[in-house]
Amino acid sequence: MELKDWETTDILICGCGPTGAMLSALLGQMNIPNVVLEREANITTDPRGIALDEDGIRALQGLGLYKSIYTEIGTCMGKFNFISGTGANLSKEAFLAMDYATTAGGTGHVGYICHKQPALERKLRDVMGAHASCSLRSGSTVIDLEEDDSWTYCTYRDAEGMERKIRARFFVGSDGKTGYTRKQYLEKKGVFLERVTDVLYDETWVALNWEITLPTPQTHPEFPLWKLGYTPEQVYDAFFPSGFRFLCNPSRPAVCGRFGLPSDRLWRFEFFVRPDEDGHYLATREMLQKIVFPYITHDGSRYSLPGDVQFPEDCIKTLRSRPFGFSARSCNVWAKDRVILCGDSAHVFPPFGGQGIASGFRDALSLGWRLAMLCRYHPSNTQVHHSVLRAWYLERKQQLEQSLAATIENGKFVTESQPLKASARDWYFWLVQFVPSWRRQLELGRRRNGMVRYRYLDNMPFIPDLNGGVNLPQVYGKTSNGEVVFTDDIIFRSQPEGLFQMFVYLHSDKELAGVRKVLREVEQLSKGTILANNVPIIVEDSVTDVQDPNVIALATGDEFASSPLCDRRPEPMLYDQFALRKEVRGRYCIVRPDRFIFAACNDTKALHGAIRSMLAYLHQTGLQS
């Protein structure tokens, strides 16, 4: 083929949903040229995914989007309330409530936000647009893909209908479970979605999105609650209460709650479609009147009124009402030669754990820096590519399987259809909550398991004997001028300069002089991969007298609550100020860009060995052909 006809880039990404946009933005941070081909001309206005966990929030923070999270993207989801019975009562007391407004998860963030996906995607694309190395081609459709030992070759049709040709070191499919990459290219190479459990898990639900307008005494003078002194906001709160509700109704399980910004007044209701039912028919206005409207119709006795009170129907605008099928599956491999799957292209989740977008973000975070490493140091070495990408898959598969298992169990919990089993479930959770420690564990939800720890397999990029493979906690710090900061923002501030970062954790600033000498040695040993003047030093004791931008003191939860970082989000309840000390277990810590520990060392001998291992991994000593 005539190479003069081919545009060239390092990474070609198919699909600019949340996963593709996150990967592109991360590559842009590391100055890796990438092109994204997106079939749609514009961001969809349909709010699809609405939940993002604390790992996803942390990923947005890593792109510099923290200030936009609570002002443009979403708000804290608060409590997950599990309600039993067949009645349509959103105010019924929950038999179990998980509190995701706390910061018990180790990231410094709340457990979940409920976001508006179009706003999320806009902000991700803004970050892409800020990097010269990122190029988004909207309205572009892939029509052919080939590869050889050194390149992938893609032909696509652009927004004007012209055929274009582009080659890239790697082609990443983030175009969903029905997209081109897997369905039309990799399936014939033996890549396919397979079950992640012994039991087939396929269901259909209807997803309904409403946009709510507040009724007022002027617009709805006959609405009966005005006479009882209710304000429009109080009416809204009564019919669409805050928090999320898992309605464990044996005959029709459902999930509902607000999403987006509070001012958006968006509400999601999802309900189960039985095997003998037509999901499209259940999504019609006629059936929604029977299935959903009872939840926004209150018995008059609640207000000492003679008749039922329904929220005004003309204050409800339907944005989405359609069935969707879901399952729990993962591809048998995520990378085949130079073509890679990411996000929904590689795995699909049931909706019960809010893990779809977050898992795609985790894929992008763990893949992005590896692609940067391969493009910089090993652009043509297929043996290294295979080793690095296989280790990526094996790592991510461990965490993915944990998330999928928790999501499936949560789904079974919500959708239990046997009345006796449902009753036993309710009584069990009612009884165990009389023990305060057990109640607290239940309230923590899936976060009670602590930070993720990978089990080491061949060529994974961490040293297990030095506490490698642990997800790095994030705490709050305080600079010498009193500014409260996230520790990630200090540790990873120089990320474009190097893939691996390092920080030091001290109990007292009296140890600073000795540490600085060690850091100068590290700079020489690492051949400039780690620069002594860029290594943050986090100390537990006050450092108000130390005028060094690299020295950060720990901040308390109260100090964070009083800072601008806490605007529009809950104060940090259950925050552990000393989580870094407990999880890192070492004075000198080398960390990967995806926030996993490579090695944590307490003495210089171990540190020097870890530096050599880091360089050996980056340059793949022993794997070069």
pLDDT digits (tens, 9 = 90+) for 498-515: 689 999 999 988 888 889
Reported confidence tier of residue 343, pLDDT bands at 50, 70, 90: very high
Instruction: Indicate if the pLDDT at residue 203 is higher than 90.
Output: no
Mean predicted confidence (pLDDT) in 255-261: 96
| pLDDT value, residue 193 | 85
Q: What percent of the chain has pLDDT over 70?
A: 95
User: Which of 282, 357, 267 minimizes the C-alpha distance to 324?
Assistant: 282
Name the residue type at position 391. A
Confidence of residue 625 (pLDDT cuts 50, 70, 90): very low
Express as a percent the part of the chain with pLDDT over 90.
75
How are beta strands 74-76 and 51-53 bridged, if at all?
unpaired
pTM across the whole model: 0.94
- Please tell me the predicted confidence (pLDDT) of residue 30: 94
Interval 233-249 mean pLDDT: 95
Give yes or no for residue 407 having a pLDDT over 80: no
Domain covering 451-619, topology: Glutaredoxin (3.40.30)
For the ranges 34-48, 401-415, 555-569, the one whose mean pLDDT is highest: 555-569
Mean pLDDT of all residues in 85-111? 93
CATH for 7-50+116-195+332-410 is 3.50.50.60
pLDDT at 624: 43
Torsion of CA 383, 389, 392, 393, to 10 degrees: -110
Mean pLDDT score, 162-182: 95
**Does residue 622 surpass a pLDDT of 70?**
no
Residue 286 has pLDDT above 60, yes or no: yes
**What ranges in 166-228 are assigned the alpha helix state H?**
180
How large is the average pLDDT for residues 388-397?
94
Cα–Cα distance, 111 to 120 (Å, whole number): 17
How much is the pLDDT for 466? 98
Per-chain mean pLDDT for the chain? 91
